Amino acid sequence: MFNVLKEIIADHLGNLSQIFKLARADLVKTYRGAALGWSWAILRPGLTLFTYWFAFNFGLRSGADVNGFPFFLWLAVGITPWFYMSDMLHSGTESIRKYKYLVNKMKFPVSVIPTFVSVSKLMVNMVLMLIVLIIFWCAGYGPTIYYLQLPFYLLCSFLFWTLWAQLSSLLAAVSKDFLNLVKSFVTPLFWLSGILWRADTLENNGWVSWVLKLNPITYIINGFRDCLVFDRWFFQAPDKLLFFVSWLVILWLLSLWAYKRLRKEIPDVL
C-alpha cells in the first residue's frame, strides 16, 4: 500500500504543471460550442438558485430570514458549494471514462485524471463563491473575521471530492452499473443533506443528528454557512470535524486499495 501511495504522489508531482493545463482544457471543453460560452458557468447555477429561492419564498412560503439574514443569502451560501459537489459526483465519477484517450494513447497516469477534473470544477466554484460574497457585501453584510475559515472549508471540499473521484472513477471505469448507481443518488443526497433546510435545527433529534454528523456534505455546507451567516468557528464542533476527517481517511484508504487492484486493468477495460 505504501508503494502505491508513493506512485500516486510521484505521478502528481511529476505532472503538476500538466494538472493545471488539463484543468483549463477541461473548462474550455465543457463550454466549447455554446453561444454564451463561459457565461453558462454562472448562468446555470444562477438560474437554479433563483428557481429554489422563488419556490421556497413564494410557493412553499417558508423563506423566512435566517439568523437575521435574508433567506436568499442563506440559500446562496449553502447551494453554491453543492454545484461543485454535484459536478464531482457526475464528472468526477466518469472522469477516467471521459478521458480514456489519455490512458490508452498517451499512457497518462490514471491517478492524475480525477485530480485535474476536480481542480477544473473547483475553479468555477471559487468564482461563484466570490460572486456570493459580493452579493453579501452589496446587501450590507460586510466581511467578518469568520471569513478566515473559507479557505479551510474550500480545502475540505476539495480533498473530500478529489479522493471521492479517485475512488469512484476507478470503479466506474470497470462498471457502468456503479456509474449509474452514483447518478441515481445525486438527487437524494441533495435533499437529505441540509442544503434547502436548516440541518442545525435537528441536531438534538436522536438518530437524525448522528446521520447529519456523519454526512460530509452537511458538514461542508454548514461550514460555509458558519463563515457567512452564523459566525461560528470550525473548532467549536470537534466531534463533527472528527467525523469528517474519518471520512477523508476512509476514502483515502479505499482509493489506494482500488488503485492497487485496478490500475493495470483500466487500459484493457477502456
Q: Which of 17-31, 69-83, 247-261 has the lowest mean pLDDT?
A: 17-31
What are 221-224's contacts with CB under 8 Å, separation 24+?
221/78, 221/81, 221/82, 221/193, 221/194, 221/195, 222/194, 223/149, 223/152, 223/153, 223/156, 224/77, 224/78, 224/80, 224/81, 224/129, 224/150, 224/153
Q: What is the pLDDT of residue 227?
A: 94
Percent of the chain with pLDDT over 70: 86
d(CA 210, CA 250): 18
Q: What is the pLDDT of residue 63?
A: 61
Q: How is the chain split into domains, by residue range?
A: 2-269
pTM score, whole prediction: 0.89
Residue 269 or 95, more confident: 95
d(CA 93, CA 170): 8
Judged against a pLDDT cut of 80, whether residue 46 lies above it is answered with no
Judged against a pLDDT cut of 80, whether residue 89 lies above it is answered with yes
What are 98-103's contacts with CB under 8 Å, separation 24+?
100/173, 100/270, 103/266, 103/267, 103/270
